[in-house]
Structure 1
Amino acid sequence: MSDSPEAIRAEIEQTRAGLGSNVDALADKVSPSKMMDRQTDKVKNALGSVRERVMGAADDAGSSLSDAGSSAVAQVGDVKDRVVAKAEGSPLAVGLIAFGAGLLLASLIPASAKEKKVAADVKDQAQPLVDKVTDVAKEVGEHLKEPAQDAATAVKDAASGSVDTVKEEAQSAAAEVKDQAQQARENVMESSA
């Protein structure tokens, strides 16, 4: 190390420049906006990778979400990887998953006052139609009641007739078997005599 003022100034300037770049890098690393930008880029990359795998691309979805650092994000990454593996190459499956996720999100968001008012208006306007449909259904039920009873009676009569027929045929067959057995016995007795 030299004791000349110029050398000391040069060394101070060099140290100051090194410290300045280190401070700038540290500030960039911990800046909330920069952190958000890095996380946004990771999510975009992960979604792009998922889209490519689902649509049949050979690229691996990667583990960009699991690099986020927290265990919650790592678990989301694991779930994402499992879902991607199951849905790979199947846009229909992805559509169903997206639909389910949309329903889940929609169920978590409370209805606004405007939506509640519109729903109440629709319910009020639909009530006469509901009443009319109910009346028509009751009337149709009344009209179908008698034919249904007639059909049930006809089925019951047919079943009774079938039972009687089967019973008569069984008795006739039993009598015929009995006659044949009697004749066989007589034949056996005549042969042995």
Structure 2
Amino acid sequence: MSDDPDAIRADIEATRRNLSGDVDALADKVTPSKIVDRQTRKVKGAWHSLSDRVMGTADDVGGTVSNAGESVADAGRTVVNKAQGNPLAVGLIAFGVGALVASLIPASNKEKELASSAKDAAQPLLQEAADVGKQVANDLKEPAQQAVQSVKETAQEGVSTVKEEATDRASDVADDAKQSQQRLQSDQ
């Protein structure tokens, strides 16, 4: 440690900045909205990765689209080639064709009944999902409040430490100044 007051002030300011940065980083890490945002990005990333693996990327499509005339002529072979060894792609294509055909045929009374009963049966599940969502939010609330309290306590401790160090250093500087003054007076 230096006895220079400017160096001591600079040390105190550096300590404050470091503490402030640590407190901000900790607060950012435990903020519920930030936690949700990070989880959302993870899920979206996983979904896009899965989607790219199943459906292919824009680069995969770009080569096929570049020569439109050839693409139309080779479309059947391209679908077969892409689908070979990829049962998921075949299933998605079949599902799409089935959905298209089903949308063209009007629903029968039996289908309407089944759809209504499925909707009624799903209602408790929707309520249960909402309850689970509320429970998760409540479960996250307490740890978040504890984290906020911990951050506050850490910040208060840091402020106290900085104040104590500043007071000690100021006292040391004052003592050194008195000693220097006494030495000067005794030398005269």
More helix by share: 2
* TM-score, normalised via structure 2 length: 0.34
* TM-score, normalised via structure 1 length: 0.33
Larger radius of gyration: 1
Q: Higher RCO, 1 or 2 (CA under 8 Å, sep at least 6)? A: 2
